[in-house]
Amino acid sequence: MMTGILALQGAFAEHAACLARLGEPCRLIRKPEELHGVDRLILPGGESTAQRKLLETTGLFSPIRELLREGMPVMGTCAGLILLAQEVAGAPPCFGILPVEVQRNAYGRQLGSFFVQGQVGELTDVPMRFIRAPYVARVLSEEVEVLNVTEGRITAVRWRNCLGLAFHPELTEDLRLYQCF
């Protein structure tokens, strides 16, 4: 299985390093041709507004949206979760595939970033690093499975082939979420 990692901006190299540790092949995606032969996608954290602009200018927006609509498995972390969400509070959606509403920068200033360990789905003691993280303000379908709630806020969801995480698994040593994905 070839994993494509959107590599326009943000923490894509860290995701690639995690997959390398698992012995999984991956390809950094910067232009549409690079999507050929990709079986699943990772949308990294970073700055969702910058990523949206780059998706348009590189011509990647439409082909990725098409692949996601066809059901390609995807893991979106932090800004990646924002890109996947059907609704983004105060802004238009990007791919609009994952039936949740997200609130951006929910933990306020960068200084509000924090680290906790907790349950994510079946996994226990998962290290979770939040950096100006969004959270899921509303779930828009009964099919959405809530995998984690931290400080009263939904931070991890699964819907069909989509895994949406408000935190950064690529910035920890724990590879279990990649294995699940």
3-class secondary-structure state, position 58:
helix
Pairing of strands 145-150, 135-139: unpaired
Pairing of strands 98-103, 85-88: parallel
State the minimum distance, in angstroms, from the CB of residue 159 to ligand GLN.
Answer: 19
Question: Cα separation of 36 and 34, whole Å?
Answer: 5
Task: Please say which residue, 4 or 46, places its beta carbon nearer to ligand GLN.
Answer: 46
Asked if 78 interacts with ligand GLN (CB under 6 A), we say yes
Pairing of strands 135-139, 98-103: antiparallel
Task: Please say which residue, 15 or 104, places its beta carbon nearer to ligand GLN.
Answer: 104
Asked if 45 interacts with ligand GLN (CB under 6 A), we say yes
Asked if 46 interacts with ligand GLN (CB under 6 A), we say yes
State the minimum distance, in angstroms, from the CB of residue 77 to ligand GLN.
Answer: 7
How many angstroms separate the first and last alpha carbons of the chain?
A: 12
Binding site for ligand GLN (CB under 6 A): 45-48, 78-79, 82, 104-105, 131-132
